[in-house]
């Protein structure tokens, strides 16, 4: 009963990133993760064909719940994760719990805060950067061209643009018109590197976003304790 009531209390959620590296996935009992999906997330899981994408749905859902329980002290799995028409996830029954999810090559980051937030991660890896000339603003293109490490610069700018899309709950198709180097967005965006990934956050809260590394066994133990 106490755990259930906590959902409706005014809990303050410190800004933090929970990070699950793909190298920690290993073998896991998928039925345990499937069992806590709500109806909306289960439908998404069922219509997803790619095996890695299905795992990402399971683990990201579990990681959001894990973050909520660790920060609020709740003991139940009654966090109701829904999504907007553009795909932005939100907690339907805890308005003060804001979060954003990002995946890259299996790794997952969940950024939580007590106000709107967008996060994007990209694994640092060899990629083509030709898209820069088509989707980068003048300021972004200048930063890219001046950089000695074109791949890193491309990933930095791309994550800046994508976390704006998530923050605004706009469409990924609009990413080209997002100028992450404009005065408005430069104030809200910060990036760092973690475990071979570029991690970028967009949030109005001027605070640090410490990163907590999570193992798949942490999620398993958390779910088994519900």
Q: Which residues pair with 111 in a beta bridge?
A: 17, 100
Query: Looking at the predicted structure, is the pLDDT value of residue 56 above 50?
Result: yes
Question: What mean pLDDT do residues 70-76 have?
Answer: 85
Lowest mean pLDDT among 71-85, 149-163, 205-219: 71-85
Question: What mean pLDDT do residues 185-213 have?
Answer: 94
Residue-level pLDDT at 4: 42
Choice between 122 and 27, residue whose per-residue pLDDT is larger: 122
Residue-level pLDDT at 10: 59
Alpha-carbon distance 215 to 21, whole Å? 8
Residue-level pLDDT at 190: 94
CATH topology of domain 121-203: Ribosomal Protein L22; Chain A (3.90.470)
100 by Cβ neighbours in 10 Å (0-12 / 13-18 / 19+) ranks as buried
Residue-level pLDDT at 22: 73
Query: Looking at the predicted structure, is the pLDDT value of residue 21 above 50?
Result: yes
Q: What is the pLDDT of residues 184-195, one digit of tens each?
A: 999 999 999 999
CATH 3.90.470.20-classified regions of the chain: 2-113+208-224
Question: What mean pLDDT do residues 16-32 have?
Answer: 81
Helix axes 51-72, 216-224, angle to 10 degrees: 60
User: Is the full-model pTM beyond 0.75?
Assistant: yes
Lowest mean pLDDT among 7-21, 69-83, 156-170: 7-21
Q: What is the pLDDT of residues 10-19, one digit of tens each?
A: 567 889 999 9
What is the largest distance, in Å, between two alpha-carbon atoms of the chain? 58
SS3 100: strand
Residue-level pLDDT at 13: 87
Of 3.40.30.10, 3.10.450.50, 3.40.50.1820, 3.90.470.20, the CATH number of 2-113+208-224 is 3.90.470.20
Residue-level pLDDT at 99: 97
CB 20 within 8 A of CB 108: yes
Q: Which residues pair with 193 in a beta bridge?
A: 198
Query: Looking at the predicted structure, is the pLDDT value of residue 60 above 50?
Result: yes
Query: Looking at the predicted structure, is the pLDDT value of residue 8 above 60?
Result: no
């Amino acid at each position: 009963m106490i755990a259930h009531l906590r959902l409706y209390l005014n809990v303050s959620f410190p800004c933090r990133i929970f990070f699950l590296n793909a190298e920690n996935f290993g073998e896991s009992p998928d039925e345990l993760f499937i069992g806590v999906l709500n109806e909306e997330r289960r439908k998404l899981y069922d219509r997803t064909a790619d095996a890695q994408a299905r795992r990402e749905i399971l683990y990201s859902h579990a990681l959001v719940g894990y973050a909520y329980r660790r920060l609020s002290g709740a003991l139940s799995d009654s966090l109701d994760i829904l999504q907007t028409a553009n795909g932005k996830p939100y907690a339907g029954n805890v308005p003060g719990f804001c979060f954003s999810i990002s995946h890259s090559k299996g790794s997952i980051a969940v950024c939580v805060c007590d106000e709107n937030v967008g996060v994007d991660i990209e694994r640092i890896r060899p990629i083509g950067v030709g898209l820069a000339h088509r989707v980068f603003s003048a300021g972004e293109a200048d930063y890219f061209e001046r950089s000695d490490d074109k791949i890193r610069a491309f990933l930095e700018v791309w994550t800046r643009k994508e976390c704006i899309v998530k923050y605004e709950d706009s469409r990924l198709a609009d990413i080209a018109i997002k100028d992450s180097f404009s005065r408005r967005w430069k104030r809200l965006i910060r990036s760092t590197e973690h475990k071979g990934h570029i991690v970028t956050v967009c949030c109005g809260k001027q605070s640090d976003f410490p990163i907590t590394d999570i193992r798949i066994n942490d999620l398993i133990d958390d779910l088994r304790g519900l």
